[in-house]
Structure 1
Amino acid sequence: MSEKDRQRLDKILAHIGIGTRKEIKKLVKDKRVTVNHQLVKDPGMHVWTSRDRIEVDGKAVRYREYIYLMMNKPKGVISSTEDDYDEVVVELLAQEHYAFAPFPVGRLDKDTEGLLLLTNDGKLAHQLLSPKKHVPKTYCATVLGEVTEADAEAFRRGVVLDDGYQTLPGELTILRTGSESEIELTIYEGKFHQVKRMFEAVGKKVTYLKRISMGPLHLDESLEPGEYRELTDEEIDLLKRQ
């Protein structure tokens, strides 16, 4: 174990959202905190995060430096940590997760729903968002207009957006076509409103958009819009290997 694993107890409890340093001092004074089943007398005592058992009110406390959350972002909520006018995704989090100060990895438009990753691991976020990585992102969409194989071929070549930028090749799968079509689209970059603008480039309009995967991470279909859960250790490992 390294010295990094040995930290002040009050710092650990504050980090995971138990309370402020002042509130934690009172918890200790009220004999509500134990380490290895021994009552704590000094909130500034040092403990080993990887081996010592910390309990508050008899409930074990799990220390984590980073947190990784999968959210099914609902429509109408901003993919941000703050906004002057609209609700933001971090406001949907319970205090125990909000305390870690997670932020969304990338953005989904206000009217787009689906998979959103939130974390306080800046290194992982940078890797996933780096243009050089070409992390695949898959969306399902409802499109006004008949989506054709000609559109799929255009997307495979890359389409020119309204600002003259030519996208990387995308993989368009037509699920149902007609006056209103249903599709899945995988892209490898994240330009502003990219999916909507790609369809506008072929003369069609997206009326519903949902992200269903990002890299190896697939949206948990049991999550209702606005719900979230922590990633499993396996999912975290897959993301880090991406």
Structure 2
Amino acid sequence: MRQQDMHNPNGERLQKILAHAGVASRRAAEELIAEGRVEVNGQVIRQLGIRVDPTQVSIHVDGMPVQLDQSKLTVAVYKEPGVVSTMHDDQGRRTLAEYIQDRPERLFHVGRLDIDTEGLILLTNDGELAHRLTHPSYEIPKTYIARVEGTVTRGLGKVLEKGITLEDGPIHVDKFVLREAQRKNSIIEVTLHSGRNRIVRRMMEEVGHPVMELVRTQFGNIQVGHLKPGRYRQIAGSELGALMHMVGM
């Protein structure tokens, strides 16, 4: 499709669409277009005046997709310990739903954290995104910081990167960092792409260093950052585009 064929006089200006999608301010979006970093339906657009129908085109910035469907919402939540990873609990326990009471959208959790684990969990109403993020074939990395019992040696990292065997099969970490080692407990950081139930806790139990505290700090490219326990923030713009790109959307 030629650039003039994409132009829809009844559509929205491209820079306005990018601003509404959270990619950048309108002025910064104009610079992105002028620099040739924006594609519409696979074609680089440099013309600032072009108008397109966001429901009829696909837009990429720096090769990353832009979510144009304003009804789709993805948020990052900092789950506190004692909260179950569900939107409703028959036992009356605290759930993720309490964090998003101000949102009208019906959101679903992407994967789970066990009740004692705190940190980052994603909620979304984008069913395809949720499915891909939890599907083993996409191998989305997740990073955890754990306080574990005992003195961890640096050699344990090599053991876990090589892999160990649990009752439900072999498992290995993608990255291991020993942050602090003391006589009674140590602090480690592990990155792995497995979504198996309580996998970090079971893995550390197996190697003789049971987990005392566990926090998930990153899911894919999404980092917990300065997000406070019990709060959430919306994922949009280039951050959401990079997440979608990781799962081929």
Taking structure 2 as the reference length, the TM-score comes to 0.68
The equivalent residue for 2:244 is 240
2: CA distance, partners of 1:49 / 1:127: 23
Task: Report the Cα offset of residue 164 of structure 1.
Answer: 4.6
Letter matched to residue 160 of structure 1? T
Is this contact kept in 1: 2:82–2:116, CA < 8 A? yes
CA deviation profile, 1:56-113 (whole Å, cap 9, x unmatched): xxxxxxx931111111111111111111121110122133x2x211011010111111
The equivalent residue for 2:16 is none
The equivalent residue for 1:72 is 78
Query: Residue 70 of structure 1: SS of its match in structure 2?
Result: strand
Q: 1:231 aligns with which of 231, 235, 242?
A: 235
Query: Residue 145 of structure 2: SS of its match in structure 1?
Result: strand
Query: How many residue pairs align between the two structures?
Result: 180
Q: 1:132 aligns with which of 117, 132, 137?
A: 137
The equivalent residue for 2:87 is 81
CA deviation profile, 1:203-238 (whole Å, cap 9, x unmatched): 1110000000011111131x2110011113121101
Counterparts of residues 1-242 of structure 1 (less than 5 Å): 64-85=70-91, 86-95=93-102, 97=103, 99-161=104-166, 163-178=167-182, 179-221=184-226, 223-242=227-246
Letter matched to residue 90 of structure 1? A
Query: Residue 207 of structure 1: SS of its match in structure 2?
Result: strand
Task: Report the Cα offset of residue 49 of structure 1.
Answer: 9.8
Task: Report the Cα offset of residue 195 of structure 1.
Answer: 0.3
2: CA distance, partners of 1:172 / 1:206: 15
Q: Which runs of 5+ in 1 are unaligned?
A: 2-47, 51-62
Aligned structure 1 segments of 4 or more residues deviating by more than 4 angstroms? none
Please tell me the root mean square deviation across aligned C-alpha atoms, in Å.
1.9
Query: Residue 237 of structure 1: SS of its match in structure 2?
Result: helix
Taking structure 1 as the reference length, the TM-score comes to 0.70
Could you tell me the percent identity over the aligned residues?
35
Letter matched to residue 208 of structure 2? G
Letter matched to residue 192 of structure 1? N
Alpha-carbon distance change, 81 to 176 in structure 1, aligned in 2, over 3 angstroms:
same
CA deviation profile, 1:2-61 (whole Å, cap 9, x unmatched): xxxxxxxxxxxxxxxxxxxxxxxxxxxxxxxxxxxxxxxxxxxxxx998xxxxxxxxxxx
Largest Rg, 1 or 2? 1
Alpha-carbon distance change, 132 to 49 in structure 1, aligned in 2, over 3 angstroms:
closer
Q: Which runs of 5+ in 2 are unaligned?
A: 1-5, 7-52, 56-68
